């Protein structure tokens, strides 16, 4: 049975990444969240059920440059990768299409 709901409002939820988690849907908006002295960029992805807020990271930089509202995106969290200086970064598998 298809869902024919016409939402008047839905809450935006920050993605809580765990390895293997995939968020796929339409990009509906971009924005920034003031955080300390920086503005942290995010995109909102509508999966049909949930509006997920995905924050920009080094590994998602290209997707943020190329994406436009209305594009479809699939983001899968691979996990944290260790780098020099006892630091780590989040690694993603990303697909973006119009």
CATH number at residue 71: 2.40.50
Question: Is residue 70 one of the residues assigned to a domain?
Answer: yes
pLDDT category, 37, cuts 50, 70, 90? low
H/E segment holding residue 91: strand 87-97
Average pLDDT over residues 79-87: 88
pTM of the predicted protein model = 0.86
- Classify the C-alpha dihedral 50-53-59-64 as positive or negative: positive
Backbone angles phi, psi at 38, to 5 degrees: -105, 155
Helix (H) or strand (E) holding 22: strand 22-35
Q: Residue 75: pLDDT above 70?
A: yes
CA nearest to 92, candidates 67, 66, 55: 55
Q: How many domains does the chain have?
A: 1
Is there a domain that residue 4 lies in? no
Region 8-12: mean pLDDT is: 88
Asked if residue 82 is part of any domain, the answer here is yes
What average pLDDT score do residues 46-67 get?
95
What domain range includes position 76? 12-93
Domain assignment present for residue 6? The answer is: no
Residue 7 domain flag: no
Average pLDDT for the chain? 91
Phi-psi region of 36 (alpha: psi -120 to 50; beta: other; left: phi over 0): left
Domain membership flag for residue 3: no
The pLDDT value recorded for residue 1 is 47
Whether residue 98 is contained in a domain is answered as: no
């Amino acid at each position: 049975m298809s869902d024919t709901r016409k939402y008047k409002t839905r809450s935006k939820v920050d993605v809580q990444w765990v390895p293997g988690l995939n968020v796929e849907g339409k990009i509906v908006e971009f924005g920034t969240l003031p955080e300390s002295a920086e503005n942290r960029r995010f995109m909102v992805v509508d999966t049909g059920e949930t509006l997920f807020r995905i924050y920009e990271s080094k590994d998602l930089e290209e997707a943020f440059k190329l994406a436009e509202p209305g594009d479809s995106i699939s983001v899968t969290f691979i996990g944290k990768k260790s780098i020099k200086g006892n630091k780590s970064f989040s690694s993603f598998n990303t697909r973006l299409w119009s």
